[in-house]
Amino acid sequence: MLLRRKSRFWRTGLNGINKKISVAVLILAPFAFILNGCGGHAQMDRAAAEVETVTPEPERPEPKHAGEVFENIHNALVRTGRADNLETVQKIVHEFGKHGYAAVDDKNRTDMVNADQVMKFCQAVNAGNPAELTMIAVTDTDGFHQYDIVTENGDIDITSRYYEYNNGQVENRSIVCYPADVWEFTEEGYLIFEGSGYSDEQYALTFSELSEHTALRVKPLDRQCREWNHKYLQLVGYERNNLFLLDWNENDFGDLDFYDLFDAFYESVKKRPTPYTMAEHIDEDAVYQIPEEEFESVIMTYLDIDSRTLRSKTVYDSKSRTYEYRPRGFYDAEYPDIPYPEVVSCRENADGTIELFVNAVYPNENTSKLFSHRVVIRLMEGGGFQYVSNQMPDSAEDEDLWWHTERCRYELK
């Protein structure tokens, strides 16, 4: 079912440069968006007590509050020194499941537990029957979102709360209530909903409501696909590079930006953060001369490219045998909320390479398939791999990839 409803307040669509200008608003908004509650509790009529004696039913134990569940499991994991990785997030998700909650992590890196609750709720929405649902989305930053959703006659109302772990306790950081302007269960198995909540503080800052976009995978994903996605796709993703945004192969690298790929590959190859960072002041221009051995070793770990080709597509100084490098700065920064890749299937080719079929999931655009592409990888000895090619569908030419910004290019002085 796809439900789309006009918002109660006019909202300007973020397009092109306007969306990038909105980054400052999005950074400031959450600080003003912390609320104490959603007012308007209904008054309940109290009927007169009957005189006749009624045998009370045995009381059922109340399920633990979500904050208590999170606090207990997180405290235990902190004591073991494993409180900030994907395995920890998965354990927290399953702990919520044991206590009866429908739960997943907010980046959809693990299968949802108690997904049948969500499916039944969606069926109630389609039938126009009254129903209630609580979903948990665990983050990897010591917190979780709780969505309490109520439907009746096809209308859907959502209360969104964010809880954060701090000094051994879980604290409610924000709460907002809104009707669902968009509600869709997609073909790819995602539940997507959007709505706008209002507060005086938020409106004073932005003169608009703050729109929440949520995309949670309900249907399970093949375990092997998850592993491939984590190992091969998320290493690079769609942030500050174009490896998966255009057509290229080992015979024609096209318009690949090798400086962006140097940034993306560096930490994985060198096992440390890159030292080639932007200047401290916005009016300064940081320029580095990176030794050819260092630059080429990083790129050639994940791409089968020869030195001559690489030098022809970069700024190379043969006298000093260095690559001129300028890090991204303020003028080529990207929008902070971007799509993420999800491997949905694969096949092994006759030449031994593996072809991965990938969807770009973009909650901010209310879609679980903004575009799709095919990535071919080559497995190497010792557990390594190389990217062989990327192929975009013909329809990708019509996509507005407004969140991506090409790196500023410079000529060798």
Task: Write down the residue that tokens 């019509």 correspond to.
Answer: 398
Q: Name the 3-class secondary structure at 233.
A: helix
Same domain, 77 and 196: yes
Q: Is residue 52 a part of any domain in this protein?
A: no
Angle between helices 292-302 and 258-270 (to 10 degrees): 90
pLDDT tens digits for range 46-71: 333 333 444 444 443 344 688 888 88
**Phi first, then psi: what are they for 227, rounded to 5°?**
-65, -45
Which residue type is seen at 86? L
Task: Write down the residue that tokens 């890196």 correspond to.
Answer: 109
Instruction: Supply the pLDDT for residue 48.
Output: 37
- Point out the domain boundary residue: 174, 189, 220: 220
Same domain, 166 and 235: no
19 — alpha (psi -120 to 50), left (phi > 0) or beta? alpha
Q: Is residue 237 a part of any domain in this protein?
A: yes
Contact 242, 404 (CB under 8 A): yes
pLDDT tens digits for range 112-136: 999 999 999 999 999 999 999 999 9
**pLDDT level of residue 30 (50, 70, 90 thresholds):** very low
**Phi first, then psi: what are they for 133, rounded to 5°?**
-150, 140
Task: Residue 360: give the domain boundaries.
Answer: 225-398
pLDDT tens digits for range 168-189: 788 888 899 999 999 999 999 9
Q: Is residue 371 a part of any domain in this protein?
A: yes
Q: Is residue 54 a part of any domain in this protein?
A: no
Q: Is residue 56 a part of any domain in this protein?
A: no
Contact 335, 240 (CB under 8 A): no
Contact 1, 122 (CB under 8 A): yes
* H or E stretch covering 118: helix 115-127
Total structural domains within the chain: 2
pLDDT tens digits for range 335-377: 788 999 999 999 999 998 999 999 999 999 999 999 999 999 9
Residues 6+ apart with CB under 8 A from 372: 357, 358, 359, 360, 393
Q: Is residue 58 a part of any domain in this protein?
A: no
Token pair for residue 285? 């221009």
Same domain, 208 and 265: no
Same domain, 124 and 229: no
Same domain, 161 and 284: no
* H or E stretch covering 70: helix 66-79
Same domain, 138 and 236: no
